[in-house]
Amino acid sequence: MPGRSEAHERLLRRAATVLGGCLGSFRLPDDVAIVLARGAGSHVYDVDGREYIDYLLGSGPLLIGHAHPAVVAAVQRQAALGSTFYTLNEPIVELAERLIEAIPCAEQVKLVSTGTEATLHALRIARAYTGKPAVLKFEGGFHGVNDYALMSALAARPTDYPTPIPDSAGIPSAVEADVLVARWNDPDLLDALVATHADRLAAVICEPLQRALVPAPGFLRTLREVTERYGVLLIFDEIVTGFRLAYGGAQERYGVVPDLATYGKAIGGGYPLAAIAGRAEIMAVADPTRRGRAPLAHLGGTFNGNPIGAVAGLATLEVLRQPGSYERLYAVTERLTSGLRALAAERGIPLTISGDGPLFQVFFTDQPVADYPGVLASDRARARAFGLACLARGLFVNPGEKFYVSLAHTDADVERTLAIFADALDAVA
């Protein structure tokens, strides 16, 4: 970042040496790389004390903002009582009850630590329950970084349906044979693929709001009908949409109930916690007492049901349950997106904003973006340049990707953000 202090530069050099300069796939270019020191509400601060309005929010979990006082108090209380037990504890029982109250498909939940584990286990449970090996996912749908998920999620070219394009080297080729890929928002292709492969298909998994691409009217309903007709389980990956689109997530927002669903991000209140939810009859295949007498989907993890994540999640859900929370989240996002649309129109810049609820993504195209080929056809270099221009001007974002909005974003944040959007659009005009 221009103007970084010598101490900041030194820290970045140390990070380059010991961490390769990043924590995973999120890596900012060297000229705008920063090391963060703290977060408060809707803002983060780098080690030089420079302030950014945060639209990354830890990649989504901080739906009520950084270091919310209720979350901090709950975590401090629990930390003094013990941080992990590897067995039942009261906070996790309470969180499981809150999840089941909120989630339409949930009769039972299993807890893990990350979204990647949640989708891995949901797919394994589906295979164990149905006795079938294959799964179908959608091109451009992201379900974490397990071997089954990293198929046609991030490819640089369109998929030749239903043959997946692995998104990573190092994935065993055997996995590809059991993953089919369909086009998002294409009900006819979906119907044909499920009909053809029903005898080996355990489940269809989707993000009900795929990244920021809204489901076309009736598409999720078709998905539900087709999977039911052919005896295939439907899994909603609600790791982003859960408690974000509505308290009851995408299931409440879109009125479609899957067989299984995965949760992460918001349910841990900013701490690592994720869940698989579903009908008790299906979840029963993960019951360890079945070992040796019935098919068992083995599910385990050192930090499963962690009490710190549980109390942080409970505190977060309590805030979200308050009247007006979702109205506020939607209204702030609407002001940002309508403001940005107007700024682009004034400048004659073709721009499509996609998303629902408190998240959106900016595509530089004059076409509607309904599926992954549509994403690939947009000017992605310009979207990234726009994100980098926002970053350099004080918005903390994942350049070219989604903007996440929280309850902590203020009217003043919106005003400042729109001024930065205007400058950033001028920079990429």
Ligand X SMILES: Cc1ncc(COP(=O)(O)O)c(C=O)c1O
Q: Which stretch binds ligand X (CB under 6 A): 141-149, 294-302, 327-335, 358-366?
A: 141-149
Q: Which of 52, 55, 129, 142 binds ligand X (CB under 6 A)?
A: 142
Least distance from ligand X to the Cβ atom of residue 183, Å: 18
Beta bridge partners of 171: none
State which residue, 227 or 241, has the beta carbon closest to ligand X: 241
Kind and range of the H or E run holding 200: none
- Which segments within 273-366 are labelled E, that is strand? 274-278, 352-355, 359-363
For ligand X, which is the closer residue by CB, 119 or 251?
119
The size of the interface with ligand X (CB under 6 A), counted in residues, is 13
> Contact between 240 and ligand X (CB under 6 A)?
yes
Encoded one letter per residue, x for contact with ligand X by CB under 6 A and - for no contact, window 199-218 reads --------x-----------
Strands (E), 279-422: 352-355, 359-363, 395-396, 403-404
Q: Does 89 bind ligand X (CB under 6 A)?
A: no
Find the binding residues for ligand X in span 104-123 (CB under 6 A).
Answer: 114-116, 119
Applying the rule CB under 6 A, the residues between 249 and 268 that interact with ligand X are: 264
Which amino acid makes up residue 208?
P
Contact 365, 16 (CB under 8 A): no
Distance (Å, whole) CA 355 – CA 401: 11
Closest CB to ligand X among residues 142, 254: 142
Closest CA to 59 of 404, 408, 319, 417: 404
143 binds ligand X (CB under 6 A): yes
CB-nearer residue toward ligand X: 138 or 219:
138
> What's the rounded Cα separation, in Å, for the pair 410 and 328?
10
- How far apart are CB 82 and ligand X at their closest, in Å? 24
Sign of CA dihedral 110, 114, 120, 126: positive
Q: How far apart are CA 198 and CA 207, in angstroms?
A: 21
Closest distance between ligand X and the C-beta of residue 116, in Å? Answer: 3
Q: What is the closest distance, in whole angstroms, from the C-beta atom of residue 293 to ligand X in the complex? A: 32
Place of tokens 């005898």: 199
Of all residues in the shown chain, the one whose CB is closest to ligand X is: 115
* Shortest reach from residue 156's CB to ligand X, in Å: 19
Residues 79, 81, 82, CA angle at the centre, nearest 5°?
70
Which pair of structure tokens corresponds to residue 11?
């820290």
CB atoms within 10 A of CB 188: 9
Residue whose CB is less far from ligand X, 122 or 391: 122
Q: Which residue in this structure is represented by tokens 């693929």?
A: 193
Dihedral sign for Cα atoms in the order 100, 101, 102, 106: positive
Cβ atoms of residues 396 and 37 within 8 Å: no
Min CB(27)–ligand X separation in Å: 15
What 3-state class would DSSP assign to 183? coil
Q: Which stretch binds ligand X (CB under 6 A): 124-132, 171-179, 234-242, 333-341?
A: 234-242
Min dist CB 146 to ligand X, Å, is 8
To ligand X, the closest distance from the beta carbon of 114 in angstroms equals 4
Could you give phi then psi for residue 18, rounded to 5 degrees? -95, -20
Are residues 388 and 419 in contact, defined by beta-carbon separation less than 8 angstroms?
Answer: no
CA distance 340 to 346: 10
**In the set 237, 259, 356, 371, which binds ligand X (CB under 6 A)?**
237
Residue placing its CB nearer to ligand X in the complex, 4 or 164: 164
CB 176 → ligand X: shortest distance, Å?
20
Is 92 an interacting residue with respect to ligand X (CB under 6 A)? Answer: no
- If phi > 0 it is left, if psi is from -120 to 50 it is alpha, else beta; for residue 80 that is alpha
Nearer to ligand X, 210 or 333 (CB): 210
The SS3 of residue 62 is coil
**Residue 59 touching ligand X (CB under 6 A):** yes
When the beta carbons of 123 and 314 are compared against ligand X, the nearer one is: 123
Find the angle CA(363)-CA(369)-CA(373) to the nearest 5 degrees. Answer: 100
Nearer to ligand X, 4 or 143 (CB): 143
Scanning 142-150, 175-183, 298-306, 371-379 for contacts with ligand X by CB under 6 A, the matching segment is 142-150
Q: Among residues 121 and 127, whose Cβ is nearest to ligand X?
A: 121
**Which of 1, 112, 223, 239 touches ligand X by CB under 6 A?**
239
Smallest distance from ligand X to CB 275, Å: 11
Q: Cβ neighbours of residue 129 under 8 Å, at least 6 residues apart? A: 202, 233, 282, 285, 295, 297
Q: Which residues bind ligand X (CB under 6 A)?
A: 59, 114-116, 119, 142-144, 207, 237, 239-240, 264
